[in-house]
Amino acid sequence: MNEVEIKFEREDRDGIIPVGTYISEAARRLGIELGSEEIGGEDFLVVKIIKGDKLLSAATKTETEKLSDERRKNGERLANHAKIEKSGELIVMSTEKKVEEKPSEEKIREDYQKEFQELPLEKKIASLVELESIALSETFSFIINSPYLVAGKVMDVLAEFGWAMEADAKKQTRPAEHHSNEDTQPSVTEEPKTTDGKESPPMPSV
């Protein structure tokens, strides 16, 4: 039998692994990402062997250098150095992963306010100017990227404004007598009628 039954206690996951596999490889095969520990400025995958330490290879030079005698007596090994050499049952406790705490929005705002208050007046003004330029840039980007419907409405308003200006300009160039006549003329030309109620033929265009 060239297989070992291995269990990772913290993750509560187990499986059958062939002899000759390193503990780090066994973890990877079972879909486990081992947590690392910084030792001497380097990160190492440290695990603790709860059961089956006799199934593993002897401690390597790196393990004796990075792990104290007390830690090794406590069953700690480097996962990518400890090789499974015998079949049997192996129980491993992985290192607890460090969870990086992300600062809350309130904490970020408080830190920014504190930092801003400590700035000299010149830098405060420069910071405000920079924020204003960013706001203007975002506003322009929003207008440019607005839906075509909004842009179409804006163009319609501009076109109506242009037509009104053009009509007013034409009116200013015409004789004053024509202004009152144009104001009183109906917008829709009515067809002339005869006295008997019948429509008369249209007048020829001049």
Taking the C-alpha atoms of residue 202 and residue 206, their distance in angstroms, rounded to an integer, is: 12
70, amino acid identity: E
**pLDDT tens profile 51-67:** 999 999 999 999 999 99
Mean pLDDT over each residue of the chain, to the nearest integer: 75
Q: Is the pLDDT of residue 135 over 60?
A: yes
pTM equals: 0.49
Q: Specify the pLDDT at position 180.
A: 55
78 in Cβ contact with 63 (< 8 Å): yes
162 in Cβ contact with 154 (< 8 Å): no
Q: CA dihedral defined by 48, 20, 33, 47, rounded to 10 degrees?
A: 10
Q: Specify the pLDDT at position 206.
A: 46
Q: Specify the pLDDT at position 187.
A: 46
Q: Assign 189 a pLDDT band (cuts: 50, 70, 90).
A: very low
Taking the C-alpha atoms of residue 33 and residue 10, their distance in angstroms, rounded to an integer, is: 12
- Average pLDDT on 148-170 reads 59
Q: Specify the pLDDT at position 76.
A: 96
Q: Assign 98 a pLDDT band (cuts: 50, 70, 90).
A: low
